[in-house]
Amino acid sequence: MMGFFRRRNANKNVYKVGEAKDSFVIIGLGNPGEEYVKTRHNMGYRALDILAENVCIDVRKSKFHSLIGQGKMAGKKVVLVKPLTYMNKSGIAARETAMYFDVPSENVIVIYDDVDLPLGSIRIRKAGGAGTHNGMKSVVSELGTKEFARIRIGVGAASGDEELVDRVIGKVPKEEQPILDKTAAAAAAAAEDIVRLGIEKAMSRHNRVGEV
C-alpha cells in the first residue's frame, strides 16, 4: 500500500495516509560543514542546490532539523530539504517534513550517493531497500516504509585497499569533480521530471548506465 503513514488514530489504532497529493518533498542527503562540501557523500546536497537554483527556490529556512525552501513546480507545491542531522539521522528530517506537509510517500523523493553505481550514472527507483547507505537506512526506518522515490547518484565503488568511509567522505581527485558536477545536474533534472512528468516517464528518460 502506498502512502506515508502520518499519525496514529487513537480510536482505531491505525495510521492515516498523507493526503496532499499535489505536494512533493524532495530531500538531498548530505553532511553539513565545509569539510564535506565536495565529497561524494554530499551528492544529494549538490543536486538539491542545483535544483533549487533551476526552479528559483531559496533553501535557507531552518526548520525540521534541516534547511528548507518552498515553491511551485508545474503547478505543484514543492518543498526542498537539506537535513542538518548528519547522514546517519537523515530520516528524522524526512519524517518531520513529510508529516508537516501531509505528503504521501510516493511524493517523497530522496537524492543520494551510491557506491554500487558506476561513477557518472544515475538511477531512479519507485521504491526499494536502503542497501548499505546509512542515510537511506535512517529514512526508511523513520518513514516506516520503502515506498518512496529515490534518485541514486553513482560515485563508483572503493578501489583496491580503499576503505568505504574514505571513498564517500575522503578527498575527491580534481579531475573527478566535473563528472560529479555533471551527474548532480542530471539528478536535479531527474527530480524535476518526476514532479513534472511522473516517475514512469522520468525513469524512462533518465535511467542509464555510464556517465551522463
Q: What is the C-alpha separation between 17 and 59, in angstroms, rounded?
A: 27
Give, in order, the Cα–Cα distances in Å from 123 to each of 23, 70, 112, 118, 154.
22, 25, 10, 10, 8
88: burial class by Cβ within 10 Å (0-12, 13-18, 19+)? exposed
Copy the grid coordinates of residue 49: 542546490
Q: What is the C-alpha separation between 180 and 46, in angstroms, rounded?
A: 9
Q: What amino acid positions are annotated as catalytic residues?
A: 41
H or E segment at 94? helix 90-100
